[in-house]
Amino acid sequence: MLTSDEAMAAGDAGDDVILVRPETTPDDVLGMQASKGILTTRGGQTSHAAVVARGWGIPAVVGAAEAHIDGTEVTIGEHRLSAGDIITIDGATGAVYPGRLATAGAEPPPELHTLLAWADSVARGHVQVRANADTKGDASHGRELGAQGIGLCRTEHMFLAHDRLPIMRRFILSDDPVTEAAALAELEEAQSHDFETVLEAMDTLPVTIRLLDPPLHEFLPDLLDLTAREAAGELSDEERTALTAVRRLHESNPMLGTRGVRLGAVRPGVYQMQVRALCRAAAKLFARGKQPHVEIMIPLVVDAEELRIARGWVRDVLDEIGHPELKSTVVTFGVMIETPRAALVAGEVARYADFFSFGTNDLTQMTYAFSRDDVEARLLPAYQQLGILPANPFAELDQQGVGQLVQMAAESARVTNPDIKLGACGEHAGDPESAAFLVRLGVDSVSCSPFRVPMARLGVAQALLECGRVHVNDVEFDFDDVATGPGEPAAEAAEAAEATPTAAGDEAGDATGDAIAVDEALVLHVLRVRGFVTPDGFTASLGEHPSEILAALVEQGAVRHIEQRDMFGLLPPGKERQESLLDSYADDAVRSGLACLLYTTDAADEHRD
425 catalytic residue (yes or no): yes
153 catalytic residue (yes or no): no
Q: How far apart are CA 377 and CA 34, in angstroms?
A: 26
DSSP per-residue codes, 478-497: --SSS--STT--HHHHHHHH
List 48, 157, 217, 525, catalytic entry: 48
Report which secondary-structure segment, H or E, holds 210: strand 206-210
Helix residue ranges, H only, 202-236? 223-231
Q: Where are the beta strands (DSSP E) in 11-148?
A: 18-21, 37-40, 60-61, 67-70, 73-76, 79-82, 87-90, 95-98, 128-132
Calculate the alpha carbon distances from 272 to 144, 186, 330, 489, 582 in Å. Answer: 32, 14, 18, 57, 63
Q: How far apart are CA 494 and CA 489, in angstroms?
A: 9
Give every CB contact of residue 262 below 8 A, 6+ residues apart in sequence. 300
Phi-psi region of 512 (alpha: psi -120 to 50; beta: other; left: phi over 0): alpha
Q: What angle do CA 562, 566, 567 make, to 5 degrees?
A: 65
Residue 408, helix vs strand vs coil:
helix
Count of CA atoms in the C-beta half-sphere (13 A) of 64? 28
List 153, 279, 425, 448, catalytic entry: 425
Calculate the alpha carbon distances from 315 to 279, 417, 576 in Å. Answer: 11, 20, 63
Contact 264, 184 (CB under 8 A): no
Give every CB contact of residue 576 below 8 A, 6+ residues apart in sequence. none
**Residue 289's CB: how many other CB atoms inside 10 A?**
7
Calculate the alpha carbon distances from 325 to 197, 275, 573 in Å. Answer: 19, 15, 62
Give every CB contact of residue 180 below 8 A, 6+ residues apart in sequence. 171, 174, 269
Residue 498, φ and ψ in degrees, nearest 5: -65, -25
* Residues with active-site annotation: 48, 425
